[in-house]
Amino acid sequence: MSYEKERDEVIDWLKHPNELGKAPFKIEFAKEFTDPEGIHCLIFKFKTGALSPWLLAIHSDSGIFSEEEKYDEKRDIEQAQALIDYLKQYWKNVALNAEESKKRAENAKAFCGFVLKAEQKFEPELFLKNYEEDWGEKLSNCDTNPEDADGGTAACIYSNEQGLNLVFGYMDFRVPNGEAEENAQFNFFWKEAVETTRTHKAHEVVTVMGIGEIRDKAMFFAKALVSLCRMDNNIGVYMNGVVFEPKMVVAMTDIIKENKLPLLVLVWCGIGREEKGVSCWSDGMKCFGFDELEMVNVQGRQPSEIHSMMLYIIDYCINQNVSFHDGEEVGLSAGLKAKIVKSKGFNVDMDGETLKISF
């Protein structure tokens, strides 16, 4: 049998932008077999160009898959079985992830940030004006005592149409113990981070509370941060172990208006050199109900490559709502697999555990 229908389905799979990205130059059916668990599998070999080697792909009861591995006629069944095993684990993880998504919603930490102020001024009316101009939405005033700002503290609570609450707590003093200045040094995007942070004279804590979807809370928080960062008196946002520059937050406006999560400001992706290599970590995944991620002492890769890879993984986990698990092996791209180990935090969550990614 030629299995033309299945061959065409493999071609369509290979054409996807996340895979080969085009139709193979040539593809042929090689053989078929049934694995010990009864999974029937068709093995295909394909070429990406006239001079390229034959590569292996499968069409099985568990799905279509290829890692663009060189086809080896003597061990093609062994190669195909490895892909079947990967697909089996993938579908198990999908089922497991459906259960975990409920737990993530229950365990997610609140979105919270410290807005640093140049002067001791609390300006809730200006925030409300900015928010309505920025997003075309009005917030309801649930509870407020801005007049207490003259006494050093004040609080406001606003709610949106989804019933989520935005809580402001103003304090007319600096973030204690030099904590903001210490963490400002880690923002490698902003050279003046420490210098600017040192000048703050007051701050306000901003938190999203209420019952709702994590994504809705994240979007509400991000919108609030953008509107706050358009206020001249607000000179930085301290959260997730770093101080963000206001203009970087405001630059997320168009992304939010496209109904996309501005992950660059919701989850910090830190990077630093160690004695034995380069380490990279997330800070903010817990607000989405995930464990924080780390790559520790990576060698043989450029820091920019490591940083980009971590940003990709953060985006993948949050937007696809996928968790990694201790002990599993994850295929990040063709020919690139990552091992996942859960252990004590190295650069983040030092009192808890993070997921370590290694290659």
pLDDT tens digits along 267-307: 999 999 888 899 999 999 999 999 999 999 999 889 999 99
Higher pLDDT, 66 or 2: 66
Q: 329 versus 263: which is more confidently predicted?
A: 263
Q: What is the mean pLDDT of residues 320-340?
A: 80
Assign 159 a pLDDT band (cuts: 50, 70, 90).
very high
Domains of the chain, residue spans: 4-107, 112-264, 268-358
pTM of the predicted model as reported, rounded to 2 decimal places: 0.77
Q: Which two tokens stand for residue 303?
A: 């820091």
Using CA atoms, how far apart are residues 4 and 131, in angstroms rounded to an integer?
A: 57
Residue 263: per-residue pLDDT: 96
Spatial contact of 109 and 126, defined as CB atoms under 8 Å apart: no
When the pLDDT of each residue in the chain is averaged and rounded to a whole number, the result is 92
pLDDT in tens, 42-60: 999 999 999 999 999 999 9
| 3-state secondary structure string across the chain | CCCHHHHHHHHHHHCCCCCCCCCCCEEEEEEEEECCCCCEEEEEEEECCCCCCCEEEEEECCEEECCCCECCCCCHHHHHHHHHHHHHHHHHHHHHHHHHHHHHHHHCCCCEEEEEECCCCCCHHHHHHHHHHHHCCCCEEEEECHHHHHHCEEEEEEECCCCCEEEEEEECCCCHHHHHHHHHCCCCCCCCHHHHHHCCCEEEEEEEECCCCHHHHHHHHHHHHHHHHCCCCEEEEEECCEEECHHHHHCCHHHHHCCCCCHHHHCEEEEEEECCEEEEEEECHHHHCCCCEEEEEECCCCHHHHHHHHHHHHHHHHHCCCCCCCCCEEEEECCEEEEEEEEECCCCCCCCEEEEEEC
Q: Which of 311, 304, 305 is nearest to 283 (CA)?
A: 311
Is it the case that residue 147 has pLDDT exceeding 60? Answer: no
Residue 144 pLDDT greater than 80, yes or no: no
- Tell me what the mean pLDDT of segment 235-245 comes to: 98
For residue 5, name the pLDDT band (cuts at 50, 70, 90).
very high
* % of residues, the chain, pLDDT over 70: 96
Angle subtended at Cα 13 by Cα 317 and Cα 59, rounded to the nearest 5 degrees: 105
**Per-residue pLDDT at 229:** 98
Position 335 scores a pLDDT of 61
pLDDT at res. 296: 94
Q: Cα(69)–Cα(199) distance, rounded to whole angstroms? A: 56
176 CA to centre of own chain: 30
pLDDT grade for 354, boundaries at 50, 70 and 90 = very high
Q: What is the pLDDT of residue 99?
A: 78
